[in-house]
Chains A and B, each alone.
Chain A
């Protein structure tokens, strides 16, 4: 993890830009003064921040400045599959997308379910990563669904949440106890929900397109049935529960209902499910095989609405690097997942340009909300916060080319996609970690 004490000598002034920081209700011209890797002051209206003699200036006229994005769901290949992605390469991909911190899934080899492994990840990140990397832990040992991991010790060691990765926890009693116990240690339980029986051998959304392609389908109920169980248990135990990757309007409705009844429940969605639908699979394009599967266009529009009206709290990339060995296969045999750290913000901006989601709401879902839900530093440009930020040109047109991808794996569903708006500079703890 970057050392916050470096670069302490020379203050940095970012001036002339438009700052979007929902954490302080800021959406207008402002100057930012950075000292010792922290936000020293912010001057609304863009007035002179009182530069000391030896200040360094970043001219941001015509640019937008956001709190650095926090991506709460990132799969990394290290340890175990370094040919797909290392912590270092994922962090460079993150920096290229304005992501200054991400939560790393425990779905590695070995599975992160032990204090020593959390410690190992943190040391790797400290030495190699250019952005903040927050480890998470499995809820049960080896995702086995039976024995709890040492949630208290893991929390102390730096795990910011507990999750079973892409696995559902079938045993309701184990989940109830995990929730009850995690609550005492203030650890959020974050889960994807897929009923393994109901989804059976399904590989894409159930419906006409799956029928036409001859592929087994996954019904929406495979997501909502275990989600309803999880929400019931969250209400029962009072635990903080995060529905990590929802894809159907029924899921959003259930979350809204439980939240209305006072349960401590939050929800996330992957940018893919806001940007793409099942039609994009075309003829067996495996980069579009995702979990949960891409749904219909109606579902996508319902998800955008749930994001706009506050039911969905955060947007994640669900960055999941896969290589030729797991993707250049027949659709049903290919692994699920797509990379997304670099395109998270650009793809999200499409929702701003189309008028579906305001810029402040997008910024909130990408920064303040994930920081609040998982208790992470950052997500704000308030005085005293770490100087983690992204400077973007919202109108810059660009096309994603495979050769420009920073991530070690190239399985993006956005290859050849046109975007409007790009992160130009990313700063972590006052240091520029990406400069296009």
Chain B
């Protein structure tokens, strides 16, 4: 299977036709689910463009479930999902929790940062302990790149990466793509500017891989101190100022700036950062008039984004949150639903 790699040699053309479901069969129990043959969802780089297309289609269908009065689609009754967050996160954890519950699974939250790790238990030991409780799915976030993959090698159930260090956050990239598609139709051909702290961002890495795989023109806009080495070779155009980077962009994706970056001398001050890289109405005018404004949250208002833009008409930030639940429902079902990976059936 073709993987999205360092140099994605993708061919966006032909994808859409190959992946369109036959008319009338666009239900979640359709035979298309046979196409997703992964045990885990660890990284966008593990997925083919076909896989991505499949998950996005499934996610689009899941949106309606959350908009009904009865928000249950109980296909996972009796299944157990454990949210294992070594790094605290209110938003992502509740999104995964809701997604699991809306599918009828039993969901348990474990905030490990506060318990066993402090007693010296290793990641693997924690994983083995939970594994012994026979869950069907683990949702894991960890502060170290590669940690979720390491854990996935040691457990007997499916694992979804909810963010590992500065490596990947695949469901975030999927929900961003879903949001974009709802407004812009296809992703192929769009110019998408990802702005801010690329160096420390797993969201940026997953989005670069996914958007490239679907044929977008991806730009990164950032001061050079917040760009990782060799970023150009990931298939992006690099800009060091917002005027050039946002010119004619269809989507402006802002990243959260962690304030502790100032201590590492990566930027001199919040004031200076906002002046040159913060998105305000003035800078947004460089982009196309109908450009979408996105942010994975939580936002630092007045640091990377001004309230006038975050709350403005072009912002789809709240919709991203809604799509997050849909995407996570689709991913969970693809992995552990009826048609999921054979070992889980």
* Candidates B6, B123, B124, B164; contact of A214 at CB < 8 Å: B164
Chain B interface size, under 10 / 10 to 19 / 20 to 34 / 35 or more: 20 to 34
Interface residue tally for chain A (C-beta within 8 Å): 21
Known: A214-B167, A215-B166. A332 touches B228 (CB 8 A): no
The chain B residue with its CB closest to the CB of A328 is B124
- Mask: chain A, 304-331; 1 = CB below 8 Å from B; 0 = not: 0000000000000000000001001111
Could you tell me if A214 and B230 are in contact, using CB atoms closer than 8 angstroms? Answer: no
Could you tell me if B234 and A330 are in contact, using CB atoms closer than 8 angstroms? Answer: no
Residues of A within 8 A of B145 (CB): 213-215, 284, 330-332
Known: A330-B144, A331-B144, A331-B145. A212 touches B124 (CB 8 A): no
- Mask: chain A, 325-349; 1 = CB below 8 Å from B; 0 = not: 1001111110000000000000000
Determine whether A207 belongs to the interface, using a CB cutoff of 8 Å to chain B. Answer: yes
CA gap between A211 and B205 in the complex, in Å: 9
CA gap between A284 and B264 in the complex, in Å: 25
Residues of A within 8 A of B142 (CB): 330
The chain B residue with its CB closest to the CB of A201 is B264
Residues of B within 8 A of A200 (CB): 264
Residues of A within 8 A of B124 (CB): 328-329
* Candidates B6, B123, B146; contact of A208 at CB < 8 Å: B6
Residues of A within 8 A of B45 (CB): 212
CA gap between A206 and B227 in the complex, in Å: 12
Among B116-147, those with CB < 8 Å from A are 122-124, 142, 144-147
* Candidates A211, A217, A283, A325; contact of B146 at CB < 8 Å: A283
Could you tell me if B149 and A214 are in contact, using CB atoms closer than 8 angstroms? Answer: no
Known: A331-B144, A332-B145. A212 touches B6 (CB 8 A): yes
Could you tell me if B150 and A284 are in contact, using CB atoms closer than 8 angstroms? Answer: yes
CA gap between A207 and B230 in the complex, in Å: 6
Residues of B within 8 A of A284 (CB): 145-146, 149-150
Determine whether B304 belongs to the interface, using a CB cutoff of 8 Å to chain A. Answer: no
Residues of B within 8 A of A212 (CB): 6, 45, 205, 234
Determine whether A210 belongs to the interface, using a CB cutoff of 8 Å to chain B. Answer: yes
Could you tell me if B233 and A208 are in contact, using CB atoms closer than 8 angstroms? Answer: yes
- Mask: chain A, 202-222; 1 = CB below 8 Å from B; 0 = not: 000011101111111100000
The chain B residue with its CB closest to the CB of A203 is B145
- The interface of chain A, by Cβ under 8 A from chain B, is 200, 206-208, 210-217, 283-284, 325, 328-333
- The interface of chain B, by Cβ under 8 A from chain A, is 6, 45, 122-124, 142, 144-147, 149-150, 164-168, 202, 205, 228-231, 233-234, 264
25 contacts between A and B (CB under 8 A): A200-B264, A207-B229, A207-B230, A208-B6, A210-B229, A211-B229, A211-B234, A212-B45, A214-B145, A214-B168, A214-B205, A215-B146, A284-B145, A284-B146, A284-B150, A328-B124, A330-B123, A330-B144, A330-B164, A331-B144, A331-B145, A332-B145, A332-B146, A333-B144, A333-B147
Q: Which 4 A-B pairs have the closest CB atoms?
A: A214-B167, A208-B230, A284-B146, A330-B144
Known A215-B146, A329-B124; 17 more pairs at CB < 8 Å: A206-B229, A208-B234, A212-B6, A213-B145, A213-B167, A214-B205, A215-B166, A283-B146, A283-B149, A284-B145, A284-B149, A328-B122, A329-B150, A330-B123, A330-B165, A331-B145, A331-B146
